[in-house]
Chains A and B, each alone.
Chain A
């Protein structure tokens, strides 16, 4: 662009040729690089694929009768699906001709939405889906999940689980999915800090009570406050509080106050003193944690706790392989006490312990799929006693937590989760509770979370937040319909723990 004098003024110009060259170079590099590197990929398996036991053989026999040679599609988060589940699918292919062809890898948070999208679209192209346990009623109502009871009966499938995972898979008496990952929060406390004699003395001086691993919520909060007095150096707690998942921890408090979200009349049950006390207990952690918790997800939290900056944490047992691993987290490896979440003493004197299952994935078979039979068999294959043991613990996918009684006897799991950690998981599973688990779960849970998050922020008082939960929930209840919800609430209740406190066995 030239002005009248012919001089080059106006728009600055960047040499086109230089950038063209640079671009080509980068492009070629980017294109060639991955293909070269891909060949270098190799994964060693340190655990042997199990020999089919009697349960597995029955499944194989039944699958062979289908005479199907098909590759199923599986929607799951890659962290779950890759590794052991893939190996088992390959083995099944060899035995029966039924295998898994493609894993549709999506973010863990989007599993329920993806399943609902399939319920809407009814494409039938997805055979198996990983879904969160609390969306089972919704997906059953939407007609996506296929009941598996007939298939299970035909092979005499043993669906014993520690705790109520089997019930979490059921709705109105039918089983809609099979669990692969025994998601459950256990309780971690820093042994080195707790057993430090100076700390013991200081604590005893201040409170007149000995410093021991907390088994009541009051003690849990007190110790957290004591050691988290300067959150920038050490936070008293290591639990998430962000919008979207803070409510998991709130529900622990809510449940251990003996509450249930729906009354007998299918009305919301949040506007009462007990719920307010639960929310206040939830909010009590705020002065002793850093503000960033309001935005963090798990990866930030595990780094935070793993670098020794948290005194205690209520988190997945699946983090044991990380936090106990001296190569990965030398600052905290071997320094943990494991246990069950602190309970709450009820007015009648009994102690109630509750923990939360946050997003336990179930394998669900798509009702609209032409390969439904094959898919059901694959689901059973993955979750059979020996195969599910192979899936849990690792080595490639380590996010599957144990859920069968036999998993807890497996030596590999004992090593990876540490014996005391494994014990803690066994106990925690007995008091493992679902999040709100009715038709419309996503909406109920998100509305609860929204107001809890507002309360955490401080923009609304706890009681007012709970009132709003009630108000919002009533609208959804009206929309979904009490008739439908009555049945759902029944199956929700059945999925709650059967014991007040876990029993050692």
Chain B
């Protein structure tokens, strides 16, 4: 019997003594159940946290003081309270950057989900050549973003291959300046992001489709449902949790995308492709207005954090429903 001395206060009442004993027994039981491993497991995490805490504290400090890097050491900067936050929240350039980030992330996520799901759907049943298609489809995802950026720059010049191909398909010569005009530049970046990450969506959706329980589909087919009906009323609902997962993952990563923007347009033309990461980079590493960047990052953290919170709620709800679905069907 895992023992433990009941400790002080045991003489107070036998009931209390029993409770205390029970508590300690439980504690030691857990400890013996491989306690050392438990503490070991957490140590690196604790260390990592300790390592990062000064960074976070400095970030908070900087967001409350006005520090421009070349004007002096950071501990001499003046306290400005929440001034910087106010400045950031009312700044036109910042708000536009957030808007651009969201539009970019939303559009590219939507496109990659539509295309990725489509591809996964087409690839789910075996047919000759399937492995070949699959292999080539995942290559874009494995290309380093910087490389993707430089590559597409080459392709999208007015006298580049893309325009040439389009000229062959469409009557007349196509000389769109994909990177020199505002909206085409933004659209190009959306396309590049979609191109880069559709395989990611495809892989996950494909796995989801493939591991989907076949019984509901069979049942529907037996009941005489058309292909379309099966897709919309059986497949799609079953795929919902996976769908939600990829949408959230992709959206958040797209919000943080930097290398492609910096290599392809550097935020131009004008500021038309200046998203949050680009503006943040300029503010910290070009303007050296470090404090403002710190304040901006907190505002962004708040915005993204709210999305994350909603996402977690959504996902956890999905996961729970999935759990219940499976336990019920016994699968």
Residues of chain A having any CB pair with chain B under 8 Å: 1, 3, 8-14, 113, 116, 119-120, 138-139, 141-142, 232, 242-244, 290-295, 300, 439-440, 442-443, 446, 450, 453-454, 456-457, 459, 476, 479-481, 484
The reply to whether B210 and A11 contact each other, CB–CB distance below 8 Å, is: yes
Q: How far is the CB of A477 from the nearest CB of chain B, in Å?
A: 12
Q: B80 → chain A, closest Cβ, in Å?
A: 11
Q: Complex formed: what's the CA distance from A369 to B123 in Å?
A: 61
A294 lies within 8 A of B180 (CB):
yes
Query: By the criterion CB–CB under 8 Å, are B125 and A142 in contact?
Result: no
Interface centre among A11, A290, A440 (most CB of B within 10 A): A11
In the complex, whether B298 has a CB less than 8 A from a CB of chain A is no
Tell which of A1, A13, A120, A457 touches B131, judged by Cβ atoms closer than 8 Å.
A13
Cross-chain contact of B214 among A3, A141, A294, A450 (Cβ < 8 A): A3
Q: Which residues of A contact B126 (CB under 8 A)?
A: 8-9, 12
Closest Cβ of chain B: how far from A12's Cβ, in Å? 4
CB pair B181–A243 under 8 Å, yes or no, is no
Q: Quick one: given A291-B181, A443-B289, are A454 and B131 in contact (CB under 8 Å)? A: no
Q: Which residue of A lies closest to B126 (CB)?
A: A9
Residues of A within 8 A of B207 (CB): 11
How many angstroms between the C-alpha atoms of A12 and B207 in the bound complex?
10
How many B residues touch the partner, as a band?
35 or more
| Chain A to chain B: the 5 pairs with minimum beta-carbon distance, closest first | A243-B268, A291-B177, A294-B180, A291-B180, A454-B270
Bound-state Cα–Cα, A439 to B68, Å: 11
Report A-chain residues with C-beta under 8 Å of the C-beta of B198. none
Known: A9-B125, A11-B210. A292 touches B270 (CB 8 A): no
Interface positions of B from 71 to 93, Cβ below 8 Å from A: 71
Contact partners of B271 in chain A: CB under 8 A = 450, 453-454
B267 neighbours in A (Cβ, 8 Å): 243
Residues of A near B70 (CB, < 8 A) are 116, 119, 138-139, 141-142, 439-440
Mark interface residues in B203-215 (1 if CB within 8 Å of A CB, else 0): 0001100110010
Report if B323 contacts A (CB, 8 A). no
Q: Are B158 and A294 in contact (CB under 8 A)?
A: no
B286 touches A12 (CB 8 A): no
Q: Hey, which chain A residues are within 8 Å of B181, CB to CB?
A: 291, 294, 457
- Give residues of chain B (215-241) contacting chain A, Cβ–Cβ below 8 Å: none
| CB-based nearest A residue for B154 | A300
- What is the CA–CA distance of A476 and B70 in the complex, to the nearest angstrom? 13
- Please give, as numbers and ranges, the residues of chain B lying within 8 Å of A442 by CB-CB distance: 286-288
Given contacts A9-B125, A439-B70, contact A457 B272 (CB under 8 A): yes
Q: B254-296 interface mask toward A, CB cutoff 8 Å, 1 = contact, 0 = none? A: 0000000000011111111000000000100111110000000
A14 touches B134 (CB 8 A): yes
State whether the Cβ of B23 lies closer than 8 Å to any Cβ in chain A: no
Task: Kindly report which residue of chain B lies nearest to residue A11, judged by CB atoms.
Answer: B210
* CB < 8 Å neighbour of B68 from A232, A290, A459, A480: A480
Instruction: List residues of chain A with CB within 8 A of the CB of B265.
Output: 243, 295
CB neighbours of A294 from chain B (8 A): 177, 179-181, 268-269
Minimum CB–CB distance from B321 to chain A (whole Å) comes to 24
Do A456 and B269 have beta carbons less than 8 Å apart? yes
Q: Given contacts A291-B158, A292-B180, is CB(A479)–CB(B66) below 8 Å?
A: yes
Chain B residues within CB distance 8 Å of chain A = 66, 68-71, 123-126, 130-131, 134-135, 153, 157-159, 175, 177, 179-182, 185, 206-207, 210-211, 214, 265-272, 282, 285-289
- Taking chain A's interface residues, is the majority helix, strand, or loop, or is none over half, making it mixed? helix
Evaluate whether A244 and B180 lie within 8 angstroms (CB atoms) in the complex, with A116-B69, A443-B288 already known.
no
A443-B287 contact in complex given A12-B123, A119-B69, C-beta closer than 8 Å: yes
B134 closest partner in A (C-beta):
A12
Given contacts A3-B214, A116-B288, A141-B71, contact A295 B269 (CB under 8 A): yes
B187 → chain A, closest Cβ, in Å? Answer: 14
- Which chain A residue shows the least CB distance to B283? A443
Residues of B within 8 Å of A12, CB to CB, are 123, 126, 130-131, 134
Determine whether the beta carbon of A295 is less than 8 Å from that of B179.
yes
| Closest CB in chain A relative to B120 CB, distance in Å | 11
Cβ–Cβ contact B288 & A10, under 8 A: no
**Are A290 and B158 closer than 8 Å at their CB atoms?**
yes
Which residues of A lie under 8 Å from residue B288 when comparing CB positions? 116, 440, 442-443
Given contacts A295-B268, A443-B289, contact A457 B175 (CB under 8 A): no
Nearest CB on A from B237, distance (A): 20
Rounded to whole Å, the gap between the CB of B202 and the closest CB of chain A is: 11
B157 touches A242 (CB 8 A): no
Residue pair A295, B210 in contact (C-beta under 8 Å): no
Inter-chain CA distance A231–B179, complex, in Å, is 17
The answer for the CA separation of A241 and B158 in the assembled complex, in Å, is 15
Q: Contacts A244-B268, A292-B159, A456-B269 hold; do A14 and B135 have CB atoms under 8 A apart?
A: yes
Minimum CB–CB distance from B78 to chain A (whole Å) comes to: 11
Taking A14-B135, A446-B287 as known contacts, 5 extra A-B pairs with beta carbons closer than 8 A to each other, sorted by chain A number, are: A10-B124, A242-B266, A290-B158, A292-B159, A294-B181
In the complex, how many angstroms separate the beta carbon of B286 from the nearest chain A beta carbon?
5
B269 touches A243 (CB 8 A): yes
Q: Chain B residues with Cβ under 8 A from A456's Cβ? A: 269-270
**Cα distance A3–B159 in the bound complex, in angstroms:** 52
Q: For B211, list chain A residues within 8 Å (CB).
A: 1, 10
Distance, CA A481 to CA B71, complexed state (A): 10
Chain B residues near A138 (CB-CB < 8 A): 70
Among A119, A293, A481, the residue within 8 A (CB) of B180 is: A293
State whether A113 touches B286 (Cβ < 8 A). Answer: yes
Chain A residues positioned under 8 Å from B289 (CB to CB): 443, 479
Q: B206 to A292, Cβ gap below 8 A?
A: no
Greatest chain B CB density within 10 A among A1, A141, A294, A479 is at: A294
Give complex CA distance A221, B288 in Å. Answer: 38
Contacts of B180 in A (CB 8 A): 290-295
The answer to whether A453 and B270 touch (CB under 8 A), given A9-B125, A11-B210, A292-B157, is yes
A480 to B72: give the CA distance in the assembly, Å. Answer: 11
How distant is the Cα of A292 from the Cα of B271 in the complex, in angstroms? 16
State the CA gap A119–B74 with chains docked (Å). 12
* Closest residue of A by beta carbon distance from B92: A468
Q: Are A292 and B282 in contact (CB under 8 A)?
A: no
Whole-angstrom distance between the alpha carbons of A430 and B300 in the complex? 49
9 A–B contacts from the bound complex (CB under 8 Å): A12-B130, A12-B131, A14-B135, A116-B288, A291-B177, A292-B157, A295-B179, A443-B287, A484-B71
